[in-house]
Structure 1
């Protein structure tokens, strides 16, 4: 936009200068020609009084003193005084008609003036060369051209400054909008520039503030909703403690503790979502091992065989431990929710080429119902449709990916690539 405004001003300035300088240049040339012809006329008028009142020697001296080619042609075809030349057609015509003439010739502009004397008609002839008529014109044109270029340069400089005052605030608006798109909700535009741009900046700032308020309200609502779950969890823990079987009591208490930790993580995550989350990774081997051990207890209750293929060495990944645990819980939760009891599943973890890890969960169930499983809120099994989206976002937010497939013998395969 800045370049276009500058080009527009440059084109306008060039057109105005052409409309002004071209007539001036033509006028300068005409003035120079008129000045040269006027000097020649003055020279002729200075010689006219000498004809008939001075002898030929005096007339010859007066002609030689002029700085123009001047000739005086006596009547009767006598030898001319001054520059030796043959009488031209204009000279002979002037002698016959007794009229002054101005004729353009190859040598320049010829001026002839008849003078009546006692012996007949004398003719004074002066030739103004073309170089004399254009003397100083080239220099004047160069001055005009330099003036035009200087005016164009000044116009471009002023146009660039004016365009900058318009473009700079728009660039600032663009940068702020990109920052808002990257979830930097504290970014604000500087109201500057023309009134229209300032109004847009104010509207963008108002929109950013409104988005921040809405997100704050949403976070508080999520935190409040999660906090309400503490009451039934407390009741569940009391019920577990009241069981007579110590093993059952311990198992239910441990499950209640896991649910409380998950609720606490949701509350903390909701409250810190307004700021940039720290980039912290985890040991994928430790997290996956711990979560598979948790789900193995439930698998035993539902007669499911759990196959593990986990490495013995640590596998560092860029995904935080809470997010990785939530992603694996979502995938395994889908296995338990959408496959019949007794369906076996396999959890494998392997190193990823170039760093990171590949987490694969495969089951022997009916497989996925459709292609829209990864769409948030979409489910073919009557659930909320958020499980796969949670796993996908956990992987993609740190540079990984999630893909779905089918096992060779039937069933579903979920593959999570975790970046480092």
Structure 2
């Protein structure tokens, strides 16, 4: 591109110089020739006037007197009737410019000038015009090189940016070049890079969330299937199969919830549901794991609460809190339900050392963990809570108290429909 720009610019300049330079040379040559002719004619008129003046005054007319009085630098031939011709100066050789003038006394004055004078002046003019043309060509080349670099460098940079995007590096470069069209392309590439970065982040986040959220349901389902395969009692098989089907439904709900949050984490499907049912279901699912760890999982607080939210999402949040206490806490884990204002609250606490002081409010950030864990569980739990209009908070660090706040449905008389407050 740089070479084509230089070649095209140089071609334009050469055409302009050829058109206007040749025209200027022709005009300048004619001007110089006309000026030289007029000078010779004026000299002939001047000499004729001098000769007329001396003849009328009866003064002598000879070469010495005319040369001294006229001071002419040209060759002149004066022919006076009845007298011999008078010559002034040296007669030029080669081509000459001639001018004739007749005086009042019938004398004829002929002035000749060498044509080489015109040739010399034309040569000087051509030299000046050629110099200007060379300067113009050099300036055009420098300008073309500068413009070529100004355009080629940004295009090369934009090509590198596009190549980086194609190789999986979506970092925007935020470079601008002072050329509106190129800046527009840079804006589009930066916007594309940001969109690709968001998409990659969402995909990685979905993969991490799925790995974390599916691990516990799959483990529980595996345990149920192992119990089914290890027993010959039809009643036990039926009971365990029923529980396994319930876990499969929860697993399906987890997957759908993860996909929904990957598209738009603010999208919820809140309904009115029985809070006790979700709590008891989680207690039943986690008690075996706590028994294996030699710890207790208990429940207390207000019963018969209804809340607004997505049962599957609330179950996932509660499962994250219970699992967090199992992995990082100690002693008995207590799940308490209570009411505050128009909200139903589920609290999870344990007798462990609590949340380290250096974590504090960062406990809900991704990749933040007090031990060798993923640091995803609490972050996902908060996102799930907020998707349905609830919130997840840490009320106390030592001992740890985590609370899930949900909008509550007030209980009225049996003949009155429930209303949301």
TM-score calculated relative to the size of structure 2: 0.44
Larger Rg: 2
State the TM-score, normalizing by the size of structure 1: 0.44
